[in-house]
Structure 1
Amino acid sequence: MGDPRWCPHPVVVMGWWITVLRRGAEAWAGNRAWKLRLAGGLITLVLVGCSVLAGWGMERLAPTPLLVVALASALAGRSLEQAVGGVLKALPNSVQAVQKQTEQNQIEQNQTDHSGDNPTQAALQPARRALAWIVGRDTADLDAPEILRALAETASENGVDGLFAPLFWMLLGAGLWSLNPSWPGPLALAWGFKAASTLDSMLGYRRGRLRWLGTAGARLDDLLVWLPCRLVAVSLPLAAGQPGRSLGVLAAARRDGAADPSPNAGLSQAAYAHVAGVQLGGSNSYGGQMHRKPLLAAGLPAPDQAAVLQMLQLNRRLELIWLTAAAAVAFITKTLS
């Protein structure tokens, strides 16, 4: 459904509370590591617990149409497509021409330090600004190939974090709900996951006070994404019409992603890279500091617009496969019972 413009998105509300709780935590803990860790754990407990309770309450009290809208709010597939598509739309009409011109400029060493003085660089500014809204890396100096790589990595990593991980917990909650309608169900578990994911997005950084304050949220998010990430790696070849590659893609993704500091990000990107047939990873700048990420599916071509669009299409197909499989399991279970 995409993000509604007429009301605050639940994740935005979670973000408001994280900001408020963070201010209180830092005022109490100061720079003391143990207090920041304790405060981070309490923030995680309060936010995730309240999100689960809010979802549980809506399951019991809300009419079905409102419950459906609330469930849709936990799945960010449409929002991811809109964000990635907006950057692609902002790229110059002929990315290949821009790439060729960029290479020629580098060879001739005629690029200037001011992007406004270079027509090629100026043409990329809208895409860079749009990209800055959806990635954490510095985008001001990215050329067209790096913009496309950033989009491919975002489409793959956030396909897991924003779509398939919450969908997994939603389906698990639906299973619990079918066993006992009084138990927390799909919305409770999905919103609980989104709370952990939002905590990781806002506080899960290894700098300043956040290296202690954000530990609990980041660890919980890693735990909740671990199984869905690997299920995506196994099932993604099905969406590409390559069922025989399932175990091979999982093995390759585990191998390539092992060097990534995240237990899930490298593996999820590597799975998409192998299925789409492109190389991801490399050097990224964060806050002016260069960081080297492991190469994923090394030796394959760099991603182009077609590869980025293919990854978005894989997300749509895989979502349909998961929903169809869940419906089949529900039907068989109901028939047997």
Structure 2
Amino acid sequence: MIAAAGLDRLIGDPLWSPHPVVWMGRFISTLRRRVEAWSGDQPLRLRIGGVAITLTLTLGSADIGWLIERGALYTQGVPQAIAVLALVAGLASALAAKSLEQSVLNVISALPSTEGEDLSAAREKLSWIVGRDTTSLSRDEILRATAETASENAVDGLFAPLFWMLVGAGLWNSGLTAAPGPLALAWGFKAASTLDSMLGYRRGNLRWLGTAGARLDDLLTWLPCRLVMLTLPLVSRSWLKWPALVRFAESEGRHDASPNAGRSEAIYAHCAGVQLGGRNRYGDRWLDKPQLGAGYPNADPKAINRILQLTQRLELLWILMTALISSKL
């Protein structure tokens, strides 16, 4: 897992490498077309189809990860070495620290240096990593959206899969080597997360088709999100402020419609000292998100870099703490 985290930080998600999430996305698209052809516009059939897609993808992804783990644990000689490399590469593919950081910095670098210049390049790059409409965002709104996705996706793309890797490692460390391990659980989570990002929208057929995947993603992210809330203050501010930071994040983040996104953004807002939240446009509808970190300055490139640095520190803390605990067992 340490090697996988290092590999992710070193190369991220290179375009030349076939990424498991890409294959998950293609599989979801194929299953969606078949389910919609079978169900028509009937909500009950769409819900049943959504459950079937969710079970097929998450269990199938976890099973493939489990088979790779078997090869790493039980085969001998050269095949085992190959299986171990596949295990490390698979674990790295479940982490998105480098790709998230690059995507965020690409938006910042595309912003013009002076007010009043063309923002189309920054809007386009931002549209690749957020779900909101970016076509008419101002410079300040682009910066806020970038800060919010850097904080929310730190949980979804890094700490949640890392958490499930740690659970799998814990199962192995307790002697349950036949149980699903780090890769199986991480890929199972990534499948649920991919389902939510592709189908988890409350419009058209997705109101019913995407419900199962969205609920599963919320469930699997619930505990990792709370652990980030509890540990991020340890790498950001004086430990004496820990109770207040956690309390503020919970009181503000719980007003978000998502059980996790608001809390993720809220703890980053208070730890990085930046104000987030506000009015966003998604397609043809507007959504008012709760204000987070009221009283702090609005998002700017320096605040966004602080968010990225906090993510780096917290990832290192989680890995070091886990390594220390493991060495004591």
Q: TM-score, normalised by structure 2?
A: 0.91
Q: How far apart are residue 250 of structure 1 and its match?
A: 2.0
Return the match for 2:194 from 198, 210, 220: 198
Q: How far apart are residue 244 of structure 1 and its match?
A: 2.6
Deviates more, 1:60-69 or 1:81-90: 60-69
Partner Cα distance (2:188, 2:239) in 1: 32
Partner letter of residue 27 of structure 1? A
Partner of 2:166: 171
Matched, 1:85 2:85: no
Q: How far apart are residue 241 of structure 1 and its match?
A: 4.3
Partner SS for 1:82: helix
Q: How far apart are residue 8 of structure 1 and its match?
A: 1.6
- Runs of 4+ deviating beyond 4 Å: none
Partner SS for 2:303: helix
Deviates more, 1:135-144 or 1:61-70: 61-70
Partner SS for 1:290: strand
Report percent identity of matched pairs: 58
Q: Could you tell me whether the CA contact under 8 Å between 2:237 and 2:271 is conserved in 1?
A: no
Q: How far apart are residue 64 of structure 1 and its match?
A: 1.5
Return the match for 2:85 from 65, 68, 71: 65
Partner of 1:287: 283
Partner of 2:44: 34
Unaligned runs of 5+ in 2: 1-7, 73-82
Partner of 1:117: none
Partner Cα distance (2:48, 2:237) in 1: 48
Structure 1 residues 30-70: Cα deviation after superposition (integer angstroms, max 9, x where no partner) = 11111111110111011000011000001111522221111
Matched, 1:18 2:16: no
Partner Cα distance (2:166, 2:122) in 1: 36
Deviates more, 1:21-30 or 1:173-182: 173-182
Partner Cα distance (1:174, 1:13) in 2: 25
Matched, 1:273 2:293: no
Structure 1 residues 83-132: Cα deviation after superposition (integer angstroms, max 9, x where no partner) = 00111111113xxx42xxxxxxxxxxxxxxxxxxxxx252x111111111
Partner letter of residue 93 of structure 2? S
Return the match for 2:62 from 44, 52, 55: 52
Matched, 1:259 2:279: no
Question: Aligned runs of 1:163-242 on 2, under 5 Å?
Answer: 163-178=158-173, 179-242=175-238
Partner Cα distance (1:232, 1:21) in 2: 34
Query: What is the number of equivalent residue pairs in this alignment?
Result: 308
Q: Could you tell me whether the CA contact under 8 Å between 1:236 and 1:246 is conserved in 2?
A: no
Question: Aligned runs of 1:300-319 on 2, under 5 Å?
Answer: 300-319=296-315
Partner of 1:151: 146
Matched, 1:328 2:324: yes
Partner of 2:155: 160
Partner Cα distance (1:243, 1:58) in 2: 41
Structure 1 residues 297-323: Cα deviation after superposition (integer angstroms, max 9, x where no partner) = 112210110000010010000000000
Partner Cα distance (1:262, 1:246) in 2: 24
Partner Cα distance (1:318, 1:52) in 2: 26
Question: Aligned runs of 1:108-119 on 2, under 5 Å?
Answer: none
Partner letter of residue 247 of structure 1? P
Partner letter of residue 137 of structure 2? L
Partner SS for 1:41: helix
